[in-house]
């Protein structure tokens, strides 16, 4: 009944398409539209079916997709067809990513293009460039307060620079990832300005209220994202004489997705960037897309429906493009952004493995893998055609996003353990070499998040100050251990720019009034390319880290067991200082044992424990990274401090 109705409605829509659309070659578009329309229609009806103008908006939605398909360059249409045929292309172990700020990495987009050879030297073939869209010079939230979705920040470059970069990256078989902020806009955006001028159409693009009655109802259950710098979730706009919802910062106006015009506008933006040659779109703040009184307005059912709708529409117009869900939420919630009750991802194909990141930092502080193993054990399975972004650190702060239940099961008291982790990375303990900075510190409950580069948090900054070669080398081994996990865990490893060179905290942000109150700028460095040249000088820190990661990446790309097809088995072992799991190839039945020692002292792994869990050892076992046979003693595998092995069995 409903399928018949939706198809008859589709026929009506196609008949109403404007002549300039109908006369175009839309063969593949029509095929995909027909295949996806029933799902698209059901979701659109769930969200907007109660509106009198439902059919009008549905027609406009199809027209928007058709217009962007017509604009899609022929080379991208060919890429779409190839990726539809090889639909698991992004699950391959060959992909290794780096996330970077264009200005911090190489001044601008032209500079990034000039440094593609450097990235390829390391082995990186997926590049996520942090926000580059036009935003206000002052209140920009690091580029996440967008004032024009189709223009580039003047300091970063031009739209033509993006096209040139995308073109060369395709020639080099590299993937380009860019951000689109889907939850909010800058108060300087055209839509916000029209709303301020009194235009009711654009006031309906946001959550605007004449008095505090409804905002106060929202505030009863809405958490505060930035309690210190932007308390509350509503801001009084003096020009408009209304309260507007601003969940993040006062200058970031939340979009009202209960209005279908907003959804179609943002879809048009996503497809615009897909047509510029972007391979992966990172959708920022997706957990916040739907607002409800009486809830936290995060992870709502309708937010997931919006993402499904974005995905359905993108599969019709630009099916070669995949989505990253920027949802830093609890483990049980994060997998929902792949899509529930499905085999293949029906929302976003890629999601940040924020839980693994937080667990790795816990292991750094505790010098054991108890909570790390426990957290991985309870990490929900992903869908088959979906994958993780595994990372050690990113542009943002580090939050302790593991559950109290996991902490307790690992043998710790949750509150005191969280305080220990925060204090450890703030360098408040005598035996802590960390040079971390607190972010969003809540003095009421002593909760906080953590800023700082990988190298400063792990102790390299202090070791360099002390000029202690032995300590420097052991910390470099610690850095490599963390990378060995994200490279082998299953998913796309994402290196944060500067980590490959051992870049330490940049404290100059304190002197900039627009950044001084945001400690996250300490780990958003400007690359010193003279320092980077030391990667070619044996004996330097830069040489040791860069070339070790280069080697690790090259080996990863050759190991088919590291592709991501839910082919990981966590091992139960008796030594709590060690993490161990097996990656296996479903077709060849070959396997690789990944084992890491998170302790500052040598540790041992009983080989019998491995054999009872299916990993067979023998005379020919070897470490894929070093190429050597690992050290064995009395049927035990010996792991030096912070050592990892990628062991291939018989």
Among this protein's residues, is 326 annotated catalytic?
yes
Whether 530 contacts 400, CB under 8 Å: no
Catalytic residue among 326, 347, 397, 599: 326
Secondary structure (DSSP) of 70-81: HHS-HHHHHHHH
DSSP classification of residue 83: H
Whether 564 contacts 490, CB under 8 Å: yes
Which tokens go with 424?
């450890």
Catalytic residue among 179, 268, 284, 362: 284
What are the E-state strand segments in 142-295?
148-152, 175-181, 184-186, 208-209, 234-237, 242-245, 252-254, 280-284
Secondary structure (DSSP) of 20-76: HHHTS--HHHHHHHHHHHHHHHHHHHHHHTTSTTHHHHHHHHHHHHHHHHHHS-HHH
How many CB atoms are closer than 10 A to CB 604? Answer: 18
Whether 594 contacts 645, CB under 8 Å: yes
Among this protein's residues, is 572 annotated catalytic?
no
Interhelix angle 354-366/414-425, rounded to 10 degrees, is 80
How far is the C-alpha of 308 from the C-alpha of 100, rounded, in Å?
28
Whether 126 contacts 175, CB under 8 Å: yes
What are the E-state strand segments in 182-336?
184-186, 208-209, 234-237, 242-245, 252-254, 280-284, 322-326
Q: What share of the chain is helix, strand, coil (3-state, %, to 5)?
A: 45, 15, 40
- Candidates 298, 302, 293; CA nearest to 219 is 293
How far is residue 596 from each of residues 273, 381, 416, 556, 581, measured CA to CA in Å? 41, 22, 26, 16, 9
- Residues acting as catalytic residues: 284, 326
């Amino acid at each position: 009944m409903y399928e018949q109705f939706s198809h008859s409605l589709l026929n009506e829509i196609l008949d109403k398409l404007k002549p300039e659309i109908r006369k175009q070659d839309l063969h593949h578009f029509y095929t995909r539209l027909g295949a996806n329309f029933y799902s698209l229609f059901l979701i659109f009806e769930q969200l907007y079916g109660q509106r009198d103008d439902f059919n009008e908006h549905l027609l406009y939605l199809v027209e928007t997709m058709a217009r962007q398909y017509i604009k899609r360059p022929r080379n991208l249409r060919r890429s779409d067809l190839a990726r539809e045929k090889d639909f698991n292309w992004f699950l391959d172990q060959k992909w290794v990513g780096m996330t970077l700020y264009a200005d911090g990495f190489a001044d601008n987009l032209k500079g990034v293009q000039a440094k593609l050879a450097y990235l390829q030297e390391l082995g990186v073939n997926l590049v996520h460039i942090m926000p580059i869209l036009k935003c206000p010079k002052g209140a920009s939230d690091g580029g996440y307060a967008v004032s024009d979705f189709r223009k580039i920040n003047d300091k970063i470059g031009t739209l033509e620079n993006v096209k040139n970069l995308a073109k060369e990256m395709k020639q080099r078989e590299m993937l380009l990832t860019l951000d689109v902020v889907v939850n909010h806009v800058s108060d300087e955006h055209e839509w916000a300005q029209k709303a301020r001028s009194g235009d009711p159409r654009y006031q309906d693009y946001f959550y605007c209220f004449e008095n505090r009655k409804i905002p106060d109802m929202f505030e009863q259950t809405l958490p505060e994202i930035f309690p210190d710098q932007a308390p509350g979730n509503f801001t009084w706009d003096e020009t408009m004489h209304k309260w507007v919802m601003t969940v993040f910062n006062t200058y970031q106006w939340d979009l009202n997705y209960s209005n279908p015009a907003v959804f179609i506008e943002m879809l048009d933006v996503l497809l615009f960037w897909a047509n510029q040659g972007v391979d992966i779109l990172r959708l920022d703040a997706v957990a916040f897309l739907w607002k409800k009184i009486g809830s936290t307005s995060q992870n709502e059912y309708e937010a997931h429906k919006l993402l499904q709708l974005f995905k359905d529409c993108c599969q019709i117009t630009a099916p070669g493009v995949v989505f990253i869900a920027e949802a830093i939420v609890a483990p049980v919630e994060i997998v929902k952004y792949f899509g529930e009750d499905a085999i293949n991802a029906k929302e976003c194909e890629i999601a940040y493995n924020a839980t693994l990141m937080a667990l790795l930092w816990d292991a750094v502080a505790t010098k054991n893998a108890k909570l790390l193993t426990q957290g991985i054990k309870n990490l929900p399975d992903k869908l088959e055609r979906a994958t993780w972004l595994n990372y050690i650190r990113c542009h943002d702060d580090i939050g302790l996003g593991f559950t109290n239940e996991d902490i307790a099961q690992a043998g710790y008291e949750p509150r005191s353990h969280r305080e220990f982790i925060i204090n450890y990375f703030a360098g408040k303990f005598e035996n802590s070499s960390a040079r971390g900075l607190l972010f969003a510190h809540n003095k009421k409950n002593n909760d906080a998040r953590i800023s700082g580069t990988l190298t400063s948090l792990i102790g390299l900054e202090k070791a360099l100050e002390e000029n202690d070669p032995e300590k420097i080398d052991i910390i470099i081994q610690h850095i490599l251990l963390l990378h060995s996990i994200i490279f082998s865990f299953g998913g796309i490893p994402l290196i944060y720019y500067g980590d490959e060179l051992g870049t330490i905290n940049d404290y100059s942000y304190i002197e900039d009034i627009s950044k001084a109150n945001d400690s996250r700028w300490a780990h958003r460095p400007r690359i010193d390319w003279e320092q980077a040249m030391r990667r070619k000088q044996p004996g330097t820190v830069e040489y040791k880290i860069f070339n070790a990661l280069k080697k690790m990446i090259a080996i990863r790309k050759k190991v088919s067991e590291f592709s991501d097809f839910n082919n990981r088995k966590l091992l139960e072992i008796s030594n709590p200082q060690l993490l161990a799991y097996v990656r296996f190839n479903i077709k060849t039945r070959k396997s690789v044992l990944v084992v890491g020692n998170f302790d500052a002292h040598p540790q041992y792994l009983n080989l019998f424990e491995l054999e009872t869990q299916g990993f067979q050892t023998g005379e020919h076992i070897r470490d894929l990274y070093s190429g050597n046979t690992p050290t064995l003693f009395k049927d035990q595998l010996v792991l030096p401090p912070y050592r990892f092995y990628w062991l291939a069995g018989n």
